[in-house]
Amino acid sequence: MKRFLKIVILHFEHVFENRARSLIWFIISLTNPLSLILFWKGASNGGNLGLGWTFSSLTTYYLLLALANAFLTSHIEEEVSFYDIKQGDLVRYLIRPFSYYWIKFIEEIPYRLLQGTYGLILLLIFIILFSHLVRINLTVLIIALGLMSAILAFFISFTFKMIIGLLAFWFKDIRGLYNLVDIVTIVFAGYVVPLEFFPSTLKNVSYLLPFAYMIYYPVIIIQGKLLLWEILRIVGIQFLYLSLFLVIQRLLWKKGIKEFTAIGQ
Amino acid sequence: MKYYFNVYKRLLKINFSELIAYRAGFINSIISSLGWGFFQMVWVYLLTAKIKSAYGWNRDELVILAASYILFMGIFHMFFSRNLDNLSRIINYGQLDGYLLKPIDSQLLLTCWQINYSQIIRLFIGSYFITSTLIQMRYYPSVTNVIGFATLLIFGIILMYAIWFVVATLLIWNPQLSNLIDFLYNITGMSRYPPSMVKEFKSIVLLFFIPLMLTVAVPVKAMINKVLLGDIVQLLIFSIFLLYISRQFWHFALRYYASASS
């Protein structure tokens, strides 16, 4: 545990060295939620949007989405596929006494914490300046279940991106696939509108896919929009998805490492 | 001028040869362009599914705005964005020296070297959705509307190019901030919304977005016969002024370029 902590601290130093870069990444992730808030301001005329959503609850949703995105969305796929597998940096991980999965996980944590901190600062500024637009009714139970769902969401996101990155063992150029994954994630994780706004067929598809469980549901839980049994069902599905992805990741790693040529692909 | 035309003709040929040589990469880019093109339409359909209008634009007009954005970005990505994408790497690795030494204008060379032919797919997607939505609206634009749309779109592209180039020039001072280009990719998305969205707020921070939001909205207004003289003047002034500024800023920034691996 001490060794892991030491590595986390070392990576924190590296992340803090590039904090301006990290801030720009955060601002990038913020542009869409903020532009959508502005859009809905005009589209809703500040009123009711139906399905239990008002302009203020939608504003809260997008703000929490920005915060959750900063904390929970992992972006390791490019590093795994391009730098580690294609360029051969994986060699230096193979000679270390840690599993590749966990060392990458530890490397990712400082980025998420720094960007999440930017997100928290933004949320606080919003609460201070536009308190009438931010509606969060937190109880101890909702916080606890929301946190549990958020942790699972991060693990799902991380493992999923790891799987996508590991595909580089077999494919020469998977940028097209990255883009498709990004697009599907944006739509089905609720980055455009809450899933309740979707047409019924698309809504049903979104409930089956894993993307909503990576970011949408933790946000909705914190917003207090789900009943206790619904939250427990979501957490159960998150466990299932995480188990499935872990198995796939292990399989891909075991088979893929045999394809690795140690001087890059 | 003839010299530059000849150089550009040669660049078009070189880029086409590259496309033939690396077909897998081209197919990959086509998939990605297709994906992003259709995504923009899914985006606008989801966003407008529960509303009738926003900021004075009805649902169909918002769809045309999004489709025009696809067309616009197709042209922009085809000719410019990949070059600006490379600028950070060129500066960071000290390769700019080589470009500055060539007997050609450095801005032209750096921003027009690569042509991404795969983006042509976005032009088809954008055009298809513009046409189909206009037919659905039972609105048939006149020749003047179409010429106005095309002309203003060119000015919009000049304006977008100027904005991107000014921001990319900042990399001379801080080459590590290569994600400034990702930032540009992201904020460009603001141009698929009605400009009054930021005008209404009168916030200093949001004022920065106004030129960006004119790039697509003004040509679309010309197409649907809603354009005002003030809109056209704004777009023309912003595009010419910012193009001039981007050039001056580039020459100013070059004074601070510290050469290899600065």
Please state, in angstroms and rounded to a whole number, the distance separating the CA atoms of residues A129 and B12: 52
Residue A174 binned pLDDT confidence (cut-offs 50, 70, 90) = confident
pLDDT at A251: 96
Selecting from B49, B183, B200 the residue whose C-beta is nearest the C-beta of A28 gives: B183
pLDDT, tens digit (0-9, with 9 covering 90-100), for B160-190: 999 999 999 998 888 777 788 888 888 888 8
pLDDT at B77: 92
Cα Rg for chain B, rounded, in angstroms?
A: 19
Please state, in angstroms and rounded to a whole number, the distance separating the CA atoms of residues A37 and B72: 24
Q: Measure CA A177 to chain center.
A: 18
Residue B262 binned pLDDT confidence (cut-offs 50, 70, 90) = very low
Between chains, do B190 and A199 touch, taking CB under 8 Å as contact? no
What Cα–Cα distance (Å) separates residue A37 from each residue in A44, A219, B202? 10, 16, 16
pLDDT at A263: 67
The dihedral sign for the CA sequence A146, A147, A149, A150: positive
Between chains, do B35 and A180 touch, taking CB under 8 Å as contact? yes
Burial class (CB in 10 A: 0-12, 13-18, 19+), B196: middle
Mutate which: B23, B28, B33, B185, vs A, most A CBs within 10 A: B28
Q: Which residues of A touch B50 (CB under 8 A)?
A: 49-50, 197
Outline where DSSP puts E strands in chain B: 53-54, 57-58
Between chains, do A179 and B31 touch, taking CB under 8 Å as contact? yes
Cβ atoms of A215 and A189 within 8 Å: the answer is yes
Among the listed residues B200, B226, B7, the one whose alpha carbon sits nearest the alpha carbon of residue B112: B7
The residues that bridge with A48 in the sheet, in sequence order, are A54
Average pLDDT over residues A99-123: 87
Please state, in angstroms and rounded to a whole number, the distance separating the CA atoms of residues A92 and A252: 19
- What's the per-residue H, E or C state across B224-241? CCCCCHHHHHHHHHHHHH
Please state, in angstroms and rounded to a whole number, the distance separating the CA atoms of residues A151 and B149: 49
**HSE-up of residue A190 (Cα within 13 Å, Cβ side):** 25
pLDDT at B261: 52
Residue A265 binned pLDDT confidence (cut-offs 50, 70, 90) = low
Instruction: Name the pTM for this structure.
Output: 0.86
Between chains, do B47 and A199 touch, taking CB under 8 Å as contact? no
More confident of the two residues A21 and A203: A203
pLDDT at B24: 75
Percent of chain B with pLDDT over 70: 97
pLDDT, tens digit (0-9, with 9 covering 90-100), for A119-139: 888 888 888 888 777 777 778
Mean pLDDT of chain A: 86
Q: Which two tokens stand for residue B85?
A: 């994408």
Between chains, do A18 and B176 touch, taking CB under 8 Å as contact? yes
Selecting from A174, A180, A187 the residue whose C-beta is nearest the C-beta of B42 gives: A187
Burial class (CB in 10 A: 0-12, 13-18, 19+), B67: buried
Between chains, do A172 and B180 touch, taking CB under 8 Å as contact? no
Size of interface A-B (CB pairs under 8 A): 98
pLDDT at B233: 94
pLDDT, tens digit (0-9, with 9 covering 90-100), for B77-97: 999 988 988 887 888 777 888
Mutate which: A16, A24, A185, vs B, most B CBs within 10 A: A24
pLDDT at A3: 73
Q: Chain B residue closest to A40 (CA)?
A: B54
Residues of A with CB under 8 A from a CB of B: 18, 20-21, 24-25, 27-28, 31-32, 35-36, 38-39, 41-44, 49-50, 172-176, 179-180, 183, 186-187, 192-193, 197-199
The interface predicted TM-score (ipTM) is 0.83
